[in-house]
Amino acid sequence: MAADPSPALGELLRQLAQAVGHDEAGASFTDGHERWSLYRAAMDTPAALSLLFEAVSLERDGPLASGVVGDVLERVPEDERRRWVEVLPPSVRDFPARRARELGVLASLERGAVPVAAVGGRIDGWSDWLQLRAVRATPDKEVLRVISEQGRTKKIRRAAADALQRP
């Protein structure tokens, strides 16, 4: 059974709804799905990110807050990611912390800052998500070759092999 959000969170949710153009009249925000929908809209509204951060800091549903942070990490600058992860209770930080690290790896791959030898030594520790995203992120043919040979799944290896064939 869903609990009513705290008065402070309830007020923030009303402000967030206004910021993203949702009709908050009569909304109770007791349902996690309703809050998730509002949070998703806020993620896509850069002007609402500061309110979203405050709301996440007060969100009582840890898995919901963790999911929001996991998604928002791709929408904020790299230097803000740690702050978003740390706003979460320690019990639900693992996934967003890993996603933040993975996004850092992707940025390094896009810049060509990850040597091929490092990819070969680290790829086993990369999630499937990171391996697939790496295929799209890297312009380095040698990195793609390593992924095509050492990727965890057939889908990942095939995606890297296909990327090698592109001009």
pLDDT in tens, 27-67: 778 888 999 999 999 999 999 999 999 999 999 999 999 99
Six-digit token string for 44: 């896509």
Please tell me the distance from the alpha carbon of residue 154 to that of residue 111, in angstroms, as a whole number.
26
Where the chain has pLDDT below 70, the residues are 1-4, 24-26
Q: Are 66 and 96 in contact (CB under 8 A)?
A: yes
List Cβ neighbours of 80 (8 Å cut-off, separation of 6 or more).
none
- Predicted pLDDT at 83: 98
Number of Cβ atoms within 10 Å of the Cβ of 27: 16
* pLDDT (0 to 100) of residue 156: 98
56 close to 88: Cβ distance less than 8 angstroms: yes
Cα–Cα dist 52/20, whole Å:
11
Give the pLDDT score at 1: 40
What's residue 3's pLDDT?
A: 56
Burial degree of 65 (CB within 10 A; 0-12, 13-18, 19+): buried
The pLDDT score that the predictor gives to residue 29 is 86
For residue 167, the model assigns a pLDDT of 81
